Amino acid sequence: MSAPETADVAPHVHHQRLLIVDFGSQVTQLIARRLRELGVYCEIHPYQKVDHAFLAAFAPRAVILSGGPDSVTREGAPRPPERLWEMGVPVLGICYGQQAMMDALGGRVEAGAPGKGGTAEFGRASVTPAETPLPLLAGWFEGGAEPVWMSHGDHVAELAPGFRVYGTSPGAPFAITGDPERHFYAVQFHPEVHHTPKGRVLLQNFVREAGFTGDWTMGAYRDEAIAQIRAQVGDARVICGLSGGVDSAVTAVLIHEAIGDQLTCVFVDHGLLRKNEAEEVVGVFRDAYNIPLIHADESDLFLDALEGTTDPEAKRKTIGRLFVEVFQKHAAEAGGAEFLAQGTLYPDVIESVSFAGGPSVTIKSHHNVGGLPEKMGMKLVEPLRELFKDEVRALGRELGLPDSFIGRHPFPGPGLAIRCPGEVTRDKLAILREADAVFIDQIRRHGLYDEIWQAFAALLPVRTVGVMGDGRTYDYACLLRAVTSVDGMTADYYPFSHDFLGETATRIINEVRGINRVSYDITSKPPGTIELE
């Protein structure tokens, strides 16, 4: 996917901005999450990119240095630019960030491998206060010591001039340090993680001290995004592919608010959708929002092309290729759109620190629209590029999308084809749709829908013998899958009660013709994947 046209520093954001310099910690994204929850606009940038010119252009009101796997005692280890210390803005160093700060300002850091230096701490630790209070720690130590989450091998051995100690743990005598006059603070633990319960309070105190007023609200974001879309698009036409998912839906509604009928949405029905799905999507967009929508019923094209195909990758490729062709055909009907709208999210565009070979940009394109931008030679409009998934949901609510739509489980681009191992036929799809609808209905009736990341039925390519009434049956076996997850990268099966599973199996067998056996998939990811193919 070609990189969209964005300057190194986003030019349009008027918020007070906080810069997070990423030194490669596994949890850097959580710093951004916590700050956004506090109404602070922030961006993560890899340390390699943060030089003097970058700092001047970004003009942060405060800076946070993340943790990272390197050791400042190593020559050539990552360091923040010297200019940072002269900017007069508050800086908070976390873990490696603390060590980088001390090293830069005249302190000393000692390397200590776990078990060797005796100062390494991994996991839970307890911090006790020093005598002098510190505004950064308002709300801390009310009950004595505070639990924090540590993960460090190296440690600070000598403080930089101007710094004092404000908190100590057994393995980190300098667990919390600061130079309040310059507003430089450095902590050895990770305030951004869940296992540092008062971490959020510390971050809140830090941003308050830096003068952030918490102006990052969805209302403000919506207004800015609308202004920005208008400025980018002018009076050109935009086309947006709707998948039925939350991201493309919020993208479409936001763009429609900005430019009205200059937007046309294309919803490709590939015949692999769930029961009533096409009607729901068309109902919301065309009827409730009055957005020009091309509902392309191309199910025959896709299902005919899939005939006889059993290999999972071959199925995906056929669907992907046809999708691009069909989308292009209908986009042309919409009359020469210059822009293609996509629901790309912030986690997809964060440049991650790569110690192997410099910063790399990871842009994940949906499998179903992958390749569209290059093939169509269009410019991209990506109004969700700065948002996390939960912020997209909040924006969706702000735009008036119904809760039932916003909370929907993810659904893959290739649809039911990858939930129907083996050949996909119309008959099998009809059976699968009914079973899936019963399963989801059961989950909703039991109030479990929002606890589950994704749930669906799959139709296994085996038929088994059963007995119903006095007769023999020889029907398909169905597999139910329901998982919990945070991001779809790892997942665990949902622990339904036996009663729930029994009741659901009975309902499916009674209500769906063609299924006489039901099983529940208890594979986690890894080693399994969420979908079957």
Residues that bind ligand XMP (CB under 6 A): 366-368, 410, 412-414, 454, 488, 525, 529-531
Max CA-CA distance within the chain? 88
Cα gap 200→434, rounded to integer Å = 46
Query: 66-105 burial, b if ≥16 CB within 10 A, otherwise e?
Result: bbbebbbeeeebbbbbeebeebebbbbbbbbbbbbbbbbb
- Tell me, what DSSP letter sits at residue 83? G
Residue type, 294: I
Active-site position among 190, 256, 270, 330: 190
| Smallest separation (angstroms) from ligand XMP to the CB of 529 | 3
- Tell me, what DSSP letter sits at residue 415? G
366 among known catalytic residues: no
| Smallest separation (angstroms) from ligand XMP to the CB of 310 | 17
Cα gap 252→421, rounded to integer Å = 33
| Smallest separation (angstroms) from ligand XMP to the CB of 418 | 6
Structure tokens of 185? 């603070």
- Based on CB atoms, which residue is closest to ligand XMP, 101 or 387? 387
- Based on CB atoms, which residue is closest to ligand XMP, 169 or 368? 368
- Based on CB atoms, which residue is closest to ligand XMP, 270 or 366? 366
| Smallest separation (angstroms) from ligand XMP to the CB of 280 | 18
- Give me the DSSP letters along 355-383: TTTS-EE-----TTTTTHHHHHT-EEE-T
Active-site position among 121, 146, 192, 434: 192
Sheet holding 238-242, edge to edge: 293-297, 263-269, 238-242, 339-341, 379-381
Active-site position among 95, 265, 420, 478: 95
List the one residue out of 438, 449, 443 whose CA is nearest residue 514: 438
- Based on CB atoms, which residue is closest to ligand XMP, 80 or 413? 413
| Smallest separation (angstroms) from ligand XMP to the CB of 329 | 21
420 among known catalytic residues: no
The sign one gets for the Cα dihedral 106, 111, 117, 120 is positive
- Based on CB atoms, which residue is closest to ligand XMP, 183 or 525? 525
Cα gap 227→112, rounded to integer Å = 52
265 among known catalytic residues: no
Q: What is the Cα 61 distance to its own chain's centre?
A: 26
| Smallest separation (angstroms) from ligand XMP to the CB of 320 | 8
- Based on CB atoms, which residue is closest to ligand XMP, 166 or 456? 456
Position with the least CB separation from ligand XMP:
367
Show which residues are catalytic: 95, 190, 192
